């Protein structure tokens, strides 16, 4: 692992270095984003480095993964970055570094952003053929750090051979889940950054149709501000699309209520997501 993991990514000829040079324009694009402030980047880090990240992405057969399988979600996650292969560990160090977090504050206009070393709810994610994530707005407060308010998401995609026809594009919808404003494909080294404190419904609600030997892979990092107890905490809120069937809407709502109860318990009793995975297996067949 490089002694200075920022060096290769911040040189002027690198994508991140170019981004730094063009930061005022990027910030303008970000803050004008609809339906919530956001930006989609077709290059985030050094191309060869990200290709190495994709090649090192851990197999889903290693027993390390937490499975999120319920009516609103079907994917796998791994939050303990110390278990990541070297290139993925290095990426976490870069994207959680004081330099990069300061860059995120300048991009978003949100002062005092904080990284989350625990990657709570973030980290590595993948889904197989048939995986999906219904439209949702994100949980608002950190489950374990009292007073940390979630403000910004960064999702870096790690799919070298992804075809648009397989689906899996992240979609941003209006707050009534009636219309999709924009969608972005999960291609290698492409990234989406967006505010989570506004009503930003997002997800990939239609099951992906990639071949059985492919997966949709990403690295997610979340950034917070230390706002004390001034904001009421809310769990992840799932939404049915306006043209979904009545029964679908009912199941989306019921599942959301169950998960809201779990989220409260997690914040109070410090449950882990691995524990959640075991509990959700009881409901997956229902």
Query: What's the pLDDT at 1?
Result: 46
Is residue 2 one of the residues assigned to a domain?
A: no
Is residue 280 one of the residues assigned to a domain?
A: yes
Contact 66, 277 (CB under 8 A): yes
What domain range includes position 83? 7-284
Number of domains in the chain: 1
Is residue 97 one of the residues assigned to a domain?
A: yes
Is residue 232 one of the residues assigned to a domain?
A: yes
Query: What's the pLDDT at 278?
Result: 57
Per-residue pLDDT of the chain (286 residues; tens, 9 = 90+): 444 656 667 676 688 888 888 899 999 999 999 999 999 999 999 999 999 999 999 987 667 898 888 999 999 999 999 999 999 999 999 999 999 999 999 999 999 999 999 999 899 999 999 999 999 998 888 778 888 999 999 999 999 999 999 999 999 999 999 999 999 999 999 999 999 976 779 999 999 999 999 999 999 999 999 976 655 567 889 999 999 999 999 999 998 888 777 666 655 655 566 665 655 555 555 4
CATH code for the domain of 52 = 2.60.120.620
Is residue 31 one of the residues assigned to a domain?
A: yes
> Exposure pattern of 18-52 as b/e (b: 16+ CB <10 Å)?
ebbeeeeebbeebeebebbbbbbbebbbbeebbeb
Phi, psi of 192 (to 5 degrees): -125, 135
Reported in sequence order, the residue ranges of 138-248 that DSSP labels E, i.e. its strands, are: 148-157, 170-173, 180-184, 191-195, 201-204, 216-226, 237-238
CA–CA dist 274, 277 (Å, integer): 5
150-202: per-residue pLDDT in tens? Answer: 999 999 999 999 999 999 999 999 999 999 999 999 999 999 999 997 677 99
DSSP state, residue 112: T
Structure tokens at 10: 């911040």
CA–CA dist 12, 27 (Å, integer): 18
């Amino acid at each position: 692992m490089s002694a200075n993991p920022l060096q290769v990514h911040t040189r002027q000829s690198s994508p991140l270095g170019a981004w730094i040079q063009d930061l005022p324009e990027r910030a303008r694009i970000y803050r004008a984003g609809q339906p919530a402030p956001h930006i989609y980047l077709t290059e985030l880090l050094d191309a060869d480095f990200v290709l190495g990240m994709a090649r090192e992405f851990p197999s889903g057969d290693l027993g390390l993964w937490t499975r999120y399988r319920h009516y609103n979600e079907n994917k796998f996650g791994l939050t303990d970055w110390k278990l990541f292969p070297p290139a993925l560990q290095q990426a976490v160090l870069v994207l959680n570094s004081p330099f990069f977090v300061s860059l995120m504050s300048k991009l978003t206009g949100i002062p005092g952003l904080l990284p989350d070393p625990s990657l709570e709810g973030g980290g590595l994610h993948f889904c197989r053929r048939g995986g999906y994530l219904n439209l949702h707005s994100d949980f608002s407060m950190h489950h374990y750090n009292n007073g940390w308010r979630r403000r910004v998401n960064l999702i870096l995609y790690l799919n070298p051979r992804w075809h648009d026809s397989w689906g899996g594009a992240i979609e941003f919808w209006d707050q009534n889940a009636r219309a999709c404003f924009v969608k972005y494909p999960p291609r290698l080294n492409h990234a989406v950054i967006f505010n989570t404190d506004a009503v930003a419904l997002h997800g990939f609600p239609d099951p992906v149709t990639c071949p059985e030997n492919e997966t949709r892979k990403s690295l997610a990092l979340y950034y917070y501000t230390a706002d004390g107890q001034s904001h009421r905490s809310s769990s992840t809120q799932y939404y049915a699309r306006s043209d979904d069937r009545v029964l679908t809407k009912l199941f989306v709502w019921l599942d959301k209520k169950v998960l809201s109860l779990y989220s409260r318990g997690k914040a109070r009793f410090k449950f882990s997501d691995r524990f959640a995975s075991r509990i959700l297996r009881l409901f997956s067949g229902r």
